[in-house]
Structure formats: C-alpha cells, structure tokens
Amino acid sequence: MGTFQIDFSNSRKQRVVGIDLGTTNSLVAYMDVTAPKVIPGEDGEPLVPSVVSLTEAGEIIVGNPALQALITHPDRTIYSVKRLMGRGIDDVTEELKLFPFRVAGSGESVLKLSLGEKTFSPPEISAFILRQLKRNAEAALGEEVRQAVITVPAYFNDAQRQATKDAGRIAGLEVQRLVNEPTAAALAYGLDKRKDGVVAVYDFGGGTFDISILRLHEGIFEVLATGGDTHLGGDDIDNLLLKIALEDIESEWKQDLSGNGEAVQTLRRAVINAKHELSRLPAVTLVFDYAGKQYRRELTRPVFEKLILPIIERTLAPCRHCMNDAGLEPEKIDEVVLVGGSTRIPLVRASVERLFRAKPHTELNPDQVVALGAAVQAAILSGDVQDKLLLDVTPLSLGIEIMGGLVSRILHRNSTIPASATEVFTTAVEGQTNVLIHVLQGERELVKDCRSLARFDLKGIDPAPAGLARIEVRFLIDANGILNVSARDLRAGKEQSVEVKPSYGLTDDQVEAMILESIDKAQDDFQERQLREARVEADAILAAVEKARQNDAYFDLEESDRDLITRGLNELLVVYHGEDHLLVRAKIDQLNQATMKLAENMMNTAVNQALKGTKI
C-alpha cells in the first residue's frame, strides 16, 4: 500500500496556539494536522513552572531556572501570581497571609509586586511566563506566533479575565479568546462531538482544586455549576510529607532544619519527587543529602494513602455541593474528566470514580489536557473564514421585555461565546394563552432605551391562573455570534424560537456609546426601574384582591377586616401614580397584611401565586 502526503498548511492563515496559564505550571500547545500537541521548551519539558525571577544582573528568568532561584533568591522570585490576577489589594488579604507576595503598592486598581529592586503588576509577571511560552512555540514551529487562546478558571470574573487578556497583550499576543479550563479539558477529549450530555471536570492541581459541571448541548458547553477550594492542592500533600521528614530528621540528627530556607527547599524537591514516583510505584525511598549527612526513608503506597486521605476527602464535599447546585445526581453525569497533575495519584482516581460512579477519562496527560483543549479551540477559530464576524464576547447584554416596560437581562455583556443561559418566567394575566417574547439588546433598564432585535409569540399556552404558567426562555449564542432565542411552555411543551444576529449593523462606536449611555443614566434608570417594578407588583395584588372580593370568603370576614382591605386598596391606588417607589411598596405591604386572613380563609393560593415569579 502506498502512502502520500497531503499538505494541510495554509500560508495565508495565522497560527493560533493554545495556552494553559496555570497557578503552578503553564504550557503551550498547537494543532498538528489532526491532533493537538504540546510544545516542549529548550529542556524538552512542556511544563513551564509558573515562576518568574529577576537575576542580580537584571535579567528575567522563567520556569525551571526560576524554580531553582526560589531556593537561592526567594526575594527576587515570584510564584502563584495567578492568584492575584485582576484583584485589588482588599481582595487579596487572605492570599497575602499564605503566600510570600511582596506588595509594593496598589495604584488605581492593580496592585504592584516587588521583584528585587523592580516592581511589576500581576499581568506583567504573567506576561513574562507567556513570553517564554511564545518563544518556545516559535522555536518549535519555526514561525512567529502572534495569536493565542488562553484558558482561565470557570469562576474567573470579568476583572480576572481582563487581567489575563492584558497579560497576553503585554506579551505581544493577540488573545483570540479566553476559554474556561473545564471546557478546554472537555474539548481535548472531543466530548463536544457528543450531541448532549453532562460532563464533570475534576481539576486537582498544585495549589487549587476546581470542580465544574458542564452541560453540552449541540456542541456548546454551558457551565452549570462550579465549586472547589482555592487553597487545596498538591502543595498540601508536599507540606504534609515535608513536615514529617523534618520531624524525622530532627529526631535522627538532633538538628532542626525548619528555619533553614535552603535546606527546606531542597528537601521539598526530594519530597515532591518521591510523591510523583509513588503514583507509579508501590514504594519509594526518600533520600536527602545535607552537610555530609544522609536521611533515607522508605515510603509505601498504603502508608502514603493513609496520610493523604484527609486531603483527598476535602475535594469530595465541593463535588457533592456542585452536583447539588446543578440539581444533578451522580447518575446524571455522563462523563468525568480528570485534570491537574495531582489526579495522577491512584487514590485520587479511585475516590473520584467512587463518587461519580463512573470511570473517569485518564487517556490524556492530566497536566496537559487543558492546553491541548485550548489548541483545539484555537484551531476551530483559525479554521474559520477570515472575514466572518467572530465575536469574542457579547458586546452588549441581551434580554427580554417583562411587565412594566422593563428589560430582564438573560445574557450579560461580555459573556464569552458560545454562550447560553436559561430563565423561567411566568404569566401576568389569568388564562393567558400566548406571550410575546420581545428580544432586546442594551444596558439600559427600560425597553424604550434598548435596541429591539426581534419579537415572536409563544402561542397555545395552557390557560392557567396568573403566575402558574412556567415559560422557559433560552438564549444561545453560537461561536459566530448568532443568537437563537427559544421559549417553551414547560407544562404544555409548546416551543417557539427565533434566530437573530445581535451585533448586526452595530459599529464599535455605537456599542461604546450604548455602554457609556447606560453608565450615564444608571441612576435615573435605577429609580425608574424600582418604580415600574413596584407598579407591576401593585397591579398584581390589586387584580388579585379585586377578584378575591367576589369570593364568598370575603363576605365571611368580619366587617373590620373588610374595611381594612378596602382602606388598603384605596391607599395603594392613591400612591400608585406617584413617583415614590418606596411608598408604593409600603402600601403593597399594608394591603398584603390586610388580606392575610382572607387569603388563609380562601385556602386558595391564587393571591400568593399572582405575586410569585417574573411576569412576561
């Protein structure tokens, strides 16, 4: 059988690499013809420790050499900088207690860290790591690399994401997209090829533990729930073993080394090596040479497992919590993906398998899987036609009209796409059989100040008392920025949908203007929204009370109770058209109080029902 080569390369296209910018380790990967591959550095190792050091000669070093410098020049070396990304001085007091960050000051919003005699912001430090990865990629691929997809934890907020993008820019990389780490892991395993399903991603790294539950729907991942512990990881195992070794040494040598920074760091390296070996071997010997003396200790896997069990158990509670948040039982999880170097530990694998009652994916290297997924995402992006509109994030919020001429936002501005979100609404009018879904774009609170994108009717809803119908509205934006809005009556199962292109026709300047305007008008909008919401609530209770007044139960009330209700009604009507939302709310409360007995008597939840849920 003959073989022939096909040249898949396309010189017109820019290569986009995928980068996992980790707390402990970072790495870069690219798409090689058919499969993603990690790119090793000069030392042949793809993992670059996320450590940055400034030499006395004023040169920045990154990765393993910097890890060495952590022993010799701790005051010129920084690790775990990801913990500080996009955070202000007030948010990081906890981190500062646990990590030897040297804060040099905090300007407007970013804090500065000192590294020897210089100071840098966290994005600048991260940029040094990114530059190293960029250099590694350029050396391996033999071409300039200017574009990247970078991964971030699913729970990263806007500021943390922005800081990551800044780091990319400082490093000379155009960040094509930020991808959630669990999503990248699922992509690396090709789970997007499943049509639907639920994926749990268990990520146990060096200093952090993250659990995420994703729902896959037609190739798009939606984060259903996330959880974890930002101070739990392989480091805790290292610290435990280190403590035991130091105690051992003290009793053997009659010498306390715990205050000797250099000795401790060397012993820590030895302990970490032993831990890694134990994932592979049933027993290892920890060896530590110091000042002409040698410490040796045999460590078997059963002993090791007994020691670390409490640490592993600390990962399981967040997993249960996360399943609970997502409203899922373990049986509902279709796939489990292991991420992070610490999931190499056999006991971790066994514990995860027992918890989720499913064999986790371990085929890929757990400390590479996020970068591999980022490379898959990068390839998807660069494979797209160049002139196609590719939105990174939704530039403006999207939502629907609700009672009172107000907008209920469903997908927020800056959501990374593809994105989807679902919300359940209810009806406002008794016996309502259709609802108008009015899709809007913009940051303002009132419908009249937003841009109308589409309208459609959901017809054939089962007539029900107001507040009883359950209408699920789902917004889904695909990678090309196409918005699909669907509405479904959860009781009758009727569904309607519409497709719109939200950014169509808007220039960047217009988007900018809309955002600025919303900031400008925020105060007015807030007042107006409060008032309108209060009026919607008033409408509901007024209608409900009017109706109840025709019920026999009303006439069974004592006259004084009936008077109370009539007075409540009248007083609410008086303030209804005023401008003071607090007054409207107060009168609603008063009327509510007055009708308590009536509601009880009617044994009919209609009044209460009418007050529940956001009404379309």
112 binds ligand ADP (CB under 6 A): no
Instruction: Report the Cα–Cα distance between both ends of the chain, in Å, rounded.
Output: 66
Residue 93 sits at the vertex; the CA angle it makes with 90 and 98, to the nearest 5 degrees, is 160
Distance (Å) of CA 428 to CA 445, 487, 528, 545, 609: 20, 16, 20, 15, 10
Q: Out of 73, 102, 269, 276, which residue is the one contacting ligand ADP (CB under 6 A)?
A: 276
Residue 82 annotated in active site? yes
Residue from 20, 124, 443, 489 carrying the catalytic annotation: 20
Element spanning 509, H or E: helix 508-520
Residue 160 tokens read as 């943390």
Interstrand relation of 103-106 and 111-115 (parallel, antiparallel or unpaired): antiparallel
Q: Out of 22, 123, 207, 366, which residue is the one contacting Mg ion (CB under 5 A)?
A: 22
Considering only residues 4 through 33, tell me which ones interact with ligand ADP, judged by CB under 6 A: 22-25
Q: Please identify, using beta-carbon distances, which residue of 182 and 205 lies nearer to Mg ion.
A: 205
Q: Please identify, using beta-carbon distances, which residue of 342 and 609 lies nearer to Mg ion.
A: 342
Identify the three-state secondary structure at position 197.
strand
By a kind-dependent CB cut-off of 5 to 8 A, residue 24 interacts, out of Mg ion, ligand ADP, none, with: ligand ADP
341 binds ligand ADP (CB under 6 A): yes
DSSP annotation string for 260-300: -HHHHHHHHHHHHHHHHHHTTSSEEEEEEEETTEEEEEEEE
CB-based burial of residue 264 (10 Å sphere; 0-12 exposed, 13-18 middle, 19+ buried)? Answer: middle
By a kind-dependent CB cut-off of 5 to 8 A, residue 153 interacts, out of Mg ion, ligand ADP, none, with: none
Give the 3-state DSSP-derived string for 116-142, with helices as H, strands as E and coil as C.
CCEEECHHHHHHHHHHHHHHHHHHHHC
Q: Please identify, using beta-carbon distances, which residue of 168 and 205 lies nearer to Mg ion.
A: 205
Residue from 124, 203, 401, 489 carrying the catalytic annotation: 203
Q: Out of 76, 112, 275, 349, which residue is the one contacting ligand ADP (CB under 6 A)?
A: 275
Q: Please identify, using beta-carbon distances, which residue of 205 and 442 lies nearer to Mg ion.
A: 205
Residue 181 annotated in active site? yes
The count of C-alpha atoms lying within 13 angstroms of the C-alpha of 311, restricted to the half-sphere facing its C-beta, is 27
206 binds ligand ADP (CB under 6 A): yes
268 binds ligand ADP (CB under 6 A): no
By a kind-dependent CB cut-off of 5 to 8 A, residue 272 interacts, out of ligand ADP, Mg ion, none, with: ligand ADP
Residue 587 tokens read as 């009168």
Considering only residues 352 through 371, tell me which ones interact with ligand ADP, judged by CB under 6 A: 367
What is the rounded (10 degree) CA torsion for 15, 511, 496, 537?
A: 140
272 binds ligand ADP (CB under 6 A): yes
Residue 91 annotated in active site? no
Residue 441 tokens read as 């774009």
Identify the three-state secondary structure at position 441.
strand
205 binds Mg ion (CB under 5 A): yes
Q: Please identify, using beta-carbon distances, which residue of 201 and 267 lies nearer to Mg ion.
A: 201
233 binds Mg ion (CB under 5 A): no
Residues at the interface with Mg ion (CB under 5 A) = 22, 205
Residues at the interface with ligand ADP (CB under 6 A) = 22-25, 205-208, 233-235, 272, 275-276, 279, 340-342, 344-345, 367
Catalytic residues: 20, 82, 181, 203
